[in-house]
Amino acid sequence: MMNLGHIERGTKMSIFEDIQNRVVGDEYEAVFRHVESERTFLVLSPGLYNNFGSIRPGSTLRLSFISEPNTYTFTGRALEKQRTNGLVLIEQLTGIETFSSRQYDRDELRLHVMVYGLPEAQIGGTVFIKPYSHPDLSDVTYDISVGGVCVISNTMLKTAHDPYYLVEFSLSDKDRFLLPAKLVRRINCPRTKIGRYDYGFQFIFEKIPEEKGRLSRSILNKKLSAR
């Protein structure tokens, strides 16, 4: 189980201000320095340091980092600025959640994808309708699996419904999908230069298990047709 003591000095982090699971500010890039106590640690983040006084009352910080093959995320609270320029002391508020990129085999399929905010009250539905509004994100997938999809983009994704979304994409003329998903990774991505942000969406199949099977077959057919 990941804890603060396992995070290596120099690990790059993405920090977003969060109110009730909704991103309300821009990204702060940070570098992990060291643990101060069981629940506190220091990061080097000039952006967070300079905007420390602008943090909204009642908000928390959503922190994410990658340590292959996993992505980790947790929430915290900025406690104080240090005398050294750029250093901020943060208190860990929740446990560190782990999201494995190897739970399912991922295929680097380039598919056009459109992402729309999804009200939390609609997550448990069995039928989803494409919104009339423009998508909050329109780009190309980096990879896809039965479990979810990764999109690397220069677009900053923020909606009132974060972290729940509808993800629309097609694997063929017949294999079109509009799936509910949870955004489980939002991080500045150092592994590629094709985009600034790495978004990981985890599909929600609890009420639509037949769609999981259909997606699995569609991915396999797509791979076979590409040979």
Q: Judge if 117 and 61 occupy the same domain.
A: no
DSSP assignment of 2-13? --GGGSPTT-EE
Domain assignment present for 128: yes
The token pair at 109 is 């399929």
Residue-level pLDDT at 218: 86
The token pair at 43 is 């990061």
Distance from C-alpha of 219 to C-alpha of 104, rounded to nearest angstrom: 12
Residue-level pLDDT at 100: 64
Mean pLDDT by 10 residues, the chain (227 residues): 91 87 80 95 96 88 82 91 94 88 65 94 90 92 90 88 94 89 81 79 93 86 64
Q: Judge if 20 and 123 occupy the same domain.
A: no
Note the residue count of the chain. 227
Distance from C-alpha of 40 to C-alpha of 18, rounded to nearest angstrom: 19
Residue-level pLDDT at 2: 86
Q: Judge if 220 and 155 occupy the same domain.
A: yes
Q: Judge if 87 and 156 occupy the same domain.
A: no
Q: Judge if 126 and 66 occupy the same domain.
A: no
Residue-level pLDDT at 61: 94
Q: Judge if 91 and 119 occupy the same domain.
A: no
Q: Judge if 128 and 215 occupy the same domain.
A: yes
Cα dihedral sign for 94, 70, 146, 200?
positive
Residue-level pLDDT at 19: 82
Query: How many structural domains are present in the chain?
Result: 2
Q: What angle do CA 200, 203, 207 make, to 5 degrees?
A: 160
Q: Judge if 160 and 78 occupy the same domain.
A: no
Residue-level pLDDT at 65: 86
From residue 146, how far is each of 119, 142, 159 by CA, in Å? 23, 14, 25
Residue-level pLDDT at 103: 53
Distance from C-alpha of 112 to C-alpha of 93, rounded to nearest angstrom: 37
Q: Would you call the peptide bond into 163 cis, given omega within 30 degrees of 0 as the criterion? A: yes
Domain encompassing residue 38: 4-100
Q: Judge if 118 and 15 occupy the same domain.
A: no
Host H or E run for residue 114: strand 112-117
CATH of the domain at 26: 2.30.110.10
Domain assignment present for 50: yes
Distance from C-alpha of 97 to C-alpha of 64, rounded to nearest angstrom: 9
Q: Judge if 89 and 193 occupy the same domain.
A: no
Last residue of a domain, one of 80, 100, 120: 100
Sequence-ordered list of residues with C-beta below 8 angstroms from that of 136, at least 6 positions apart, any chain: 115, 116, 117, 157, 158, 159, 165
Q: Judge if 89 and 121 occupy the same domain.
A: no
The widest CA-to-CA distance across the chain, in whole angstroms, is: 60
